[in-house]
Structure 1
Amino acid sequence: MPDPHVQDEAAVLVRRALDQHESTLIAYTASILGGDTERARDVVQDAMLRLYLTEPDRVRENLKSWLFTVCRNRAFDILRKEQRLDIGNDELIEAATDHEPDPSQHAGTHELYERIWQCVDRLRPNQREVVRLKFLHDCSYQEIAGITGLSVGNVGFIMHHAIKKLRELMNNDVSEEYTPTRS
C-alpha cells in the first residue's frame, strides 16, 4: 500500500503544477496537435496523472521541464499514430500571445509584436519550437534541452540561427513594405 505521506506530497505537487503550468501546457500541446485544444487538455490531464504517480522527489526540482517533456512526447505519440506532424498553429499561437497593450503604450508595439510572431511561423519547425518555448513559455535553455531532447549547446545554436533568420525576415518585410511599386 502506498505511503499516505508520499500521496499527499504528490497531490500538492499536482495542484502546484496545475496552478502554475496548466494553461501554458495546454497552449504548447495544442500547438503541436494542430490547434486541437480538447486533445491538448487530455494530454495535460494524462501528464498530471503521471505526475501524481511519480515519486515527488524525482520531479520537484525540474517540474516545468518534466511536464513540458511529458506533454510533448505524448503529443508526438498521438501524431505518430495519425502519421502526420504539424508543430505550428497560427491561430492558437496568436490566441496564446494576443494581449491588449496598456493604453499608455504606442499602438505600433502591438503591430510589431504580431509581425514578429508571423515571422516566427515562417521559421523551420525546430526553430519555431525553440523560440516558442523560450519566449512564450519562458523556458531556460536547460529546460528546452530537457523538453526537446537536444543538448543545451544545440538549443543555443538553433536559437542563434532562429534569431538571425527572424532579423532577416523582419528586415525583408520592412524593406518590401517601403519599396515603392511601379505602376
Structure 2
Amino acid sequence: MSVQPQPDEASLLVRRALDQYEANLVAYTTGILNGDLERARDVVQDALLKLYLTDPEKVRDNLKAWLFTVCRNRALDILRKDHRLDLGNEDALEGAVSFTPDPSENADSHELHARIWELVDKLRPNQREVIRLKFMHDCSYQQIADVTGLTVGNVGFIMHVAIKKLRELLNREMASRPQ
C-alpha cells in the first residue's frame, strides 16, 4: 500500500492555472510574438514555473491578471532582445498582437464577427490590447489595468474610445457597401 503525497499549495495553484488559463495565455502570447506558437508556449511554461516559485499568498487572489502580466512582460522582453519591436514606435507595435476569430458561429454572424476583429487591427496598439484582453480573454477592467499598468479609469476610457472607433469604422464600411 503506497501513500500518495499531498500536492503542495504551489502545485495546486499551477494546476489551476493550467486548467483555467493555459490556452488563453498561449493565444495571447502568440499574438504578441507575431504568431510564434513555440516561443509562446515557452513563455507560458516560464510563467508557470515562475508561478510555482512564487509565494501562493501573493498571487492566489489575482492569478489571472498575474499570469497575463508575466506572459506579456516576458514576450515583450523577447521581442526587445530580437530587436523586432521598438516600444516607442506605434507602427512597429501595430503587428504585435493578432487574432483569428472563432469559426464556431453561423455564417452571417461569423462574417460580421471576423470583420470586426479585422477592424480591431486598425485600432491603436493600446486600444487593440484592451479590446483583446476584455473580449478574447474575458479580463475585467481591473485585470486589464493590472496587466497593462494602466489605471482602471484609463482602461475604461481606452475601451470607450476603441469601441466608438470600431462602431465608426463598421458604419463607414456598411454605408459604402452596394445594396
Segments ≥4 residues shifted beyond 6 Å: none
Report the equivalent of 1:147. 147
Q: Normalising by structure 2, report the TM-score.
A: 0.88
Report the equivalent of 1:100. 104
Report the equivalent of 1:88. 97
Alignment of 1:1-183 (within 5 A): 8-85=8-85, 86-89=95-98, 93-94=99-100, 97-101=101-105, 107-178=107-178
Give yes or no for contact 1:65–1:146 (8 Å, CA) kept in 2. Answer: yes
Distance 2:114 2:20 in 1: 26
In the TM superposition, residue 88 of structure 1 has moved relative to its aligned partner by: 2.3
Deviations 1:84-130 (A, max 9, x none): 234222xxx11xx32322xxx5x311111111101111111110010
Gaps of 5+ in 1: none
Give yes or no for contact 1:87–1:129 (8 Å, CA) kept in 2. Answer: no
In the TM superposition, residue 172 of structure 1 has moved relative to its aligned partner by: 1.0
Deviations 1:55-76 (A, max 9, x none): 0011000000000000000000
Gaps of 5+ in 2: 86-94
Q: Equivalent pairs: percent with the same residue?
A: 66
In the TM superposition, residue 178 of structure 1 has moved relative to its aligned partner by: 2.6
Give yes or no for contact 1:26–1:41 (8 Å, CA) kept in 2. Answer: yes
Paired residues in the alignment total: 166
Give the CA RMSD over aligned residues: 1.6
